[in-house]
Structure 1
Amino acid sequence: MKRRTFLSITGTFTGGALVLPEFLYAFARQKQKASENHCLVFVQLNGGNDGLNTYIPFSDPIYYDLRPKIGIKQDQVIAKNQGMGLHPDLKGLGDIQQNGDLTIIQNVGYPNPNRSHFRSQEIWQTASEADQYLTNGWLGRFLDLQCKDHTPTAGINIDAIDNLAFKGEVPNTITVKNPNSFKVRGNTAKESKLDDNPQLDFVMKIAQSVTEGSESIQEALGRSKEELTYPKSKLANHLKWIGRLIKGNLNSKVYYTSLGGFDTHDNQIPLHKRRLTELDSAISSFYKDMKQANLMQDTTIVVFSEFGRRVKDNGSGTDHGTAAPMFIISGNSNGQIIGKNPDLQNLSNGDLVYDIDFRSVYARLLKNRMNFDPKLIGINNKSLESLF
């Protein structure tokens, strides 16, 4: 059995149950090539978040003409700035923006957009062209070059399933549903070969590394405390764990989690309100946690979705669209609005035309936050220099 084949049919730990084994070496003990302290935290909004009802072009009458049923009323929009404003249930993000730590990038997308959830997520997670199929994720390729040895805690995915963005030639990430229950006791394997069989030896190394990774995560949790009360939601719980691991000096360079429920074809107003409320309260708590620990200057939060929604509503909701805003939160951010307001007069088959390629954002994150040349992993887009 080839290593790639083995990894594709096995899995990491989720909630303490073995789903996909990884090489687990204590990442915190290794010398890092990347920026010493900075980490990236990704929050992926699954289902295609409606960007126009998240960051709202309230000053454009076309918005209300095309969304007579679901348009957010102008007097409800908050944090108004140059004709744009936030959904009323994003008060926390509004406060972060007021602090100068929120950057909003408008009209983010890619050429020849794909409206399939699965395919568009794959494009975002691999940083591929729309007609290009890559087997490894962009963060997996980045960590392949950053990690001197097998270091799965280089990237931490707090979720129930693995994320393609982290897939690389070498497994340098781990998926954990609940870090507190990710505990392995005892020696699972010895450093010896089985009949000089490289495939079986590979399995032995995985078994041994599980113990080491579990110990590393538990040590990080032991060095940190839950100093702030997070709301009771799935995303808030995931971000709470990420906060504990960051405060506990696990020294992972990338953290990833997700929030679903954004495929709002019907009954959008209440559904979107609930999702944005959960997002806002979770992000706000994590931001306060990092600020209180004096770690926000070394943390960048990236919030995105695989695509936006159609500009015209369908009566009670919206269908799959294209471009949408990205949100970047960082203590070292310029706190600005990047890009033009959505052009609702010049649509492409009823969809927004993207202005900024998402890979330009990735390029800037790698270059500025990780001190890494994005071209080394095939991201040749010009870096979005105005980001920070």
Structure 2
Amino acid sequence: MKRRQFLTLTGTLTGGYLLVPQFLHALGGRTGLSRSNGIVVFLQLDGGNDGLNTLIPFSDSLYYTFRPNISISREQVIRINRDLGWHPRLEGIASIQQAGHLTVIQNVGYPNPNRSHFRSQEIWETASDSNIYMDKGWLGRYLDIQCEDIEPVAGVTINSADNLALTGSRPNSITVNNPNQFKPLFNGKANTTASDNPQLDFVRRIAFSTKQGADLIRDAMNKSSDTGYYPSTKLGRNLQWIARLIKGDLSTRVFYTSQKGYDTHHNQLNEHAKQLKQLDQAIYAFYRDLKSSDLLNDVTLVIFSEFGRRVKDNGGGTDHGKAAPMMIIGGKTKGNIIGTNPDLFHLDKGDLIHKIDFRSVYASILNDKLAFDPSKINIKQKALSGLF
């Protein structure tokens, strides 16, 4: 069985249950990766979020020329300055930005972009060039180097499926769908005796690390409590659980979750507004939770999508595009706007031209939030300045 197939069975706790054969116990490993430099939470907007209708360049007449059917009127925009404003459903995010706790990075992308959802997500999750294929994620590679031994909760994905970004050579991360539904994983004494079969020992090690991870997550959930003001949406619950795990002193350095529904080819005005409202409510609740817990400076929330949308609408929506903005909340971010406004006059075959490589944002996060040299995982781009 391939390692990735095995991890799908043993490393993913779908619905809080873990199915591992009773004989699979493992050799122990040290846990407790230090969080002294901070915690980073990644929120991936699956489907390609329309950046132009999220952070709107309402003073540019070309925005309305290119988007006669889906533009947001100047009267509806929540204004940041005389040129830019937020979508009207992003009231909470607008207030976070006004408080100085949110930085926007404009025109983020990568050279030779790919409009395929799966391939572009893969590029973002591995931090590879668009013509390079990798089976290890950028955060997984970071954890492989940073962790002294297998540390089962160094990275945690709150979702129903594993994320490539946290996939490494060793099982230093775990995927959880519902931390509230954990059941006892093993009974009896673990077999910690090494055998003369390296493959069996590896399987045992993975299985035991998964058990350890489940136990640590359950303990952290028991040590913390809900604040009660999160929305009853999937994203709201995911961020609520992440906040609980952080407050419960789980040793995790990186968390990952996602929100689906951003592939707005049709009926974009309604569908995009619905997604952004859910996003806004969940993020604002998470922000208030961290702030009231005095954790806002220690936690950095990174919000991104695999690509933006085309500048010109297709009648009722937008097709796959290229560059788009990223948002960074908390973590002592400087609360500014980095980069220039989208250039709607100079386009690349109808798409925005990227000005900032997403890997330079990763490099800044690795340097400043995780105290790690990005070149060790082959990120060669210079760290983005002015972020933290």
TM value normalised by structure 2: 0.94
Relative to structure 1, the CA distance from residue 275 to residue 124 in structure 2 (aligned partners, 3 Å threshold; closer, same or farther) is same
Which of 272-281 and 74-83 deviates more?
Answer: 74-83
What are structure 2's unaligned runs of at least 5 residues?
none
Task: Tell me the equivalent position of 1:117.
Answer: 117
Residues 203-282 of structure 1: pairs in structure 2 closer than 5 A: 203-282=203-282
Change (3 A) 1:270 1:31: closer
What root-mean-square deviation, in Å, do the aligned CA atoms of Structure 1 and Structure 2 show? 2.1
d(CA) in 1 for partners of 2:136 and 2:25? 16
Contact 2:26-2:190 within 8 A present in 1 as well = no
Deviation at 1:135, TM superposition (A): 1.2
- Equivalenced residues, count: 385
Report if aligned partners of 2:26, 2:201 keep a CA contact under 8 Å in 1.
no
State whether residues 41 and 256 of structure 1, in contact with CA within 8 Å, keep that contact through their aligned partners in structure 2. Answer: yes
Identity of aligned residues (%): 55
Offset of residue 387 of structure 1: 1.0
In the alignment, what sits opposite 1:371? 371
Moved more, 156-165 or 212-221: 212-221
Alignment partner of 1:176 is 2:184:
no
Structure 2 CA distance, aligned partners of 1:6 and 1:226?
A: 33
Distance 2:293 2:5 in 1: 42
1:2: how far off?
6.4
- The residue type paired with residue 338 of structure 1 is I
Secondary structure of 2:107 counterpart: strand
- What CA distance in whole angstroms lies between the structure 1 residues aligned with 2:210 and 2:40? 24
Instruction: State the Cα distance separating 1:333 from its structure 2 match.
Output: 1.2
1:30 has 2:32 as partner: yes
Change (3 A) 1:249 1:9: closer
Equivalent AA in structure 1 for residue 287 of structure 2: Y
Q: TM-score, normalised by structure 1?
A: 0.94
1:70 is aligned to 2:49: no
Structure 1 position 189, deviation (Å): 6.2
- Residue pair 1:42, 1:301 contacting (<8 A) in 2 also: yes
Check if 1:50 corresponds to 2:50.
Answer: yes
CA contact 1:24–1:212 (8 Å) conserved in 2: no
2:301 matched residue in structure 1: 301
- Residue of structure 2 equivalent to 1:14: 14
State which drifts further: 76-85 or 174-183. Answer: 76-85
CA drift of 1:5 comes to: 6.5
Shift of residue 180, structure 1, vs aligned partner: 1.2
Give the whole-Å Cα distance in 1 for the aligned partners of 2:107 and 2:194. 55
Aligned letter for 1:202? F
Which secondary structure does the structure 2 equivalent of 1:286 belong to? helix
Q: Is the 8 A contact 1:23 1:172 kept in 2?
A: no
Instruction: Give the aligned residue type for 1:47.
Output: G
2:37/2:371 contact within 8 Å kept: no
Equivalent AA in structure 1 for residue 308 of structure 2: G
Give distance in 1, aligned partners of 2:136 and 2:9. 15
